[in-house]
Amino acid sequence: MAQSSIALIYGTDTNNTEEVGHKIAKQWEELGEQVDIFNIKDIELGQLEHYSMLILGIPTWDFGGIQSDWEDIGDSLAELSLENTVIALYGLGDQFGYGDYFVDAVGWLYEKLLPTNATFIGQWSTEGYEFEASRACVHNKEFFIGLAIDEDQQFELTDQRVEQWVIQLYAERAVEAA
């Protein structure tokens, strides 16, 4: 049984996605919300159905590669029953080194979760990023489907972006609950 109504689940190979996840959880705690944090490799997928909100983090590797723990369970995600669940996505990538694939894994994760009928919140403006293409883009490349973090090239912006995004999520979640 869930300890809180929000779960943050990340996949990581370098711990960067985990570290950003802890920053996100800390911001939620400052708003008075508890967040249960899990590495995707350590959680049974069915547990996700017990939360009203999921924050899912995934890095993109090299030329659009999916983090291995997420890739291993990717096809099982569509089987989850999440129609009463709000989902927010965040991803890490390198916009200059891999500008044709920036945070592509976020788009992949979104596509895998679409059949669950969950409600997605947390679109993030592409303003302030320099990249050629991203599978995570929506609305004519004006927004990412979730928060885009570049710890390689714009690490100095991570804390500010996380803080703003969590405040945005908090407001959007309240609208969805109303």
pLDDT at 140 over 90: no
DSSP bridge pairs for 92: 59, 149
Crossing angle of the two packed helices 158-177 and 16-30, in degrees rounded to 10: 50
pLDDT at 178 over 80: no
What pTM was computed for the model? 0.95
Q: Are 28 and 62 spatial neighbours (Cβ–Cβ below 8 Å)?
A: no
In a 3-state reduction of DSSP, which class is residue 78? helix
Closest CA to 162 of 14, 8, 49: 8
State the pairing for strand pair 6-10/35-39: parallel
51-92 pLDDT, tens digit each: 999 999 999 998 888 999 999 999 999 999 999 999 999 999
DSSP bridge pairs for 8: 37, 55
In a 3-state reduction of DSSP, which class is residue 125? strand
In a 3-state reduction of DSSP, which class is residue 84? coil
